[in-house]
Amino acid sequence: MTERGPLLAALEWQLAAGVDEVVGFEPTDRFAPPPEPRAPASPPSAPGAAPARARPAEAAPAAAKDTAAAADLDTLRARLLSFDGCALKKTATNTVFGEGPARARLMIVGEAPGADEDRQGRPFVGPSGRLLERMLAAIGLSRDEVYIANTVYWRPPGNRTPSAEEVEACRPFISRQIALVAPEVLMLTGGAAAKTLLGTTEGIMRLRGRWRSLETSGGPVDVMPTFHPAFLLRSPARKRESWRDLLAVRARLESGRP
C-alpha cells in the first residue's frame, strides 16, 4: 500500500461514518498544555462605550419588534443578516433565508438547513429537496411557483436538532416571513416545524393530514402539516399518506376549499 493508502482508507471510513465537513483548517495539538486563563474583561463604563451584545434569550423580543417593521422580504432578509441573537450563525457557512415568489400561493416550511443547504445558501437543495420537487410536480407545481423556507436559518453543527433557544431566536423572523408572503396554504414539513409554528406538542403522526389555521399579522393562513421529505427517504412506505396530504393541498389551492 502506498503512503496515500492509509490516508484514503481513513477518509473513506470518516465518510461512511457520516462526517461531511471539518471544524477547522489547521491541525490541533491535543497534547499541548492549556493556555493560561485570562482575567475576565471588566464591563465598559466609559461614555460612548459599545453596549454588550444581547444574549439569545434577550434577543427574541428585540427581534420581534424589529421584524414587525419589515415591510417586505428584502428588508426582512437584511435584518436577519445583521441579527446576532442566534449562536448558530457563528458556525454556519451561509444564512439560508428562503426563496420563491414574494406572493406565492403555497409556502413550504421545514426545520433547519442541512449540509447541502448550508453550502449553497438555499433551502431544500439536497436529496430532500429533489424529492420535494418531485412531490410538487406530482400535483402540477414547480419549485419556482412555491416559496420555501425553514424555521431556523442556520445549520446546526452535525445536523443536530436546533435547541429551543435557537428556535425561539428565529421565530420572529419566520413568523414575519410567512405574513409577508401571505400564502393561501402553508405546508409544514416535519414535526419540528409543525410544533414550532402551531404551538403544539403533538407529533407529526397525529398532526399530518389535518387542516389547521395559523394566525399571522396579515390574517389567518390554512396549514397542512405533513412528513418531511427526509423522513420519506428513510420510510418510503409513508409516501402514500404524504400523497393524500398533497392532494388535499392541491384541492385547497384549486377551489379554495376541498
The whole-number pLDDT of residue 157 equals 95
Chain-centroid distance of CA 72 in Å reads 20
pTM above threshold 0.85? no
Asked if residue 171 has pLDDT above 90, the reply is yes
The whole-number pLDDT of residue 86 equals 95
Could you tell me which residue, 7 or 214, shows the higher pLDDT?
A: 214
Average pLDDT for residues 163-169, to the nearest whole number? 95
> Residue 12 — very low, low, confident or very high, per pLDDT cuts 50/70/90?
low
The whole-number pLDDT of residue 236 equals 96
Q: Are 104 and 181 in contact (CB under 8 A)?
A: yes
> Residue 255 — very low, low, confident or very high, per pLDDT cuts 50/70/90?
confident
Q: What average pLDDT does the chain have? A: 85
Asked if residue 39 has pLDDT above 60, the reply is no
CA dist 69 and 44 (Å) reads 31
CA distances, 209 to each of 96, 221, 224 (Å): 27, 16, 6
CA dist 141 and 128 (Å) reads 17
The whole-number pLDDT of residue 26 equals 53
Dihedral pair phi/psi, residue 30, rounded to 5°: -75, -15
Could you tell me which residue, 29 or 196, shows the higher pLDDT?
A: 196
Q: Are 128 and 233 in contact (CB under 8 A)?
A: yes
Q: Are 117 and 125 in contact (CB under 8 A)?
A: yes
pLDDT in tens, 124-161: 999 999 999 999 999 999 999 999 999 999 999 999 99
> Residue 53 — very low, low, confident or very high, per pLDDT cuts 50/70/90?
very low
The whole-number pLDDT of residue 218 equals 84
Asked if residue 48 has pLDDT above 50, the reply is no
Q: Which fold has domain 56-255?
A: Uracil-DNA Glycosylase, subunit E (3.40.470)
The whole-number pLDDT of residue 13 equals 61
Q: Are 258 and 251 in contact (CB under 8 A)?
A: yes
CA dist 63 and 30 (Å) reads 40
Domain ranges in the chain are 56-255
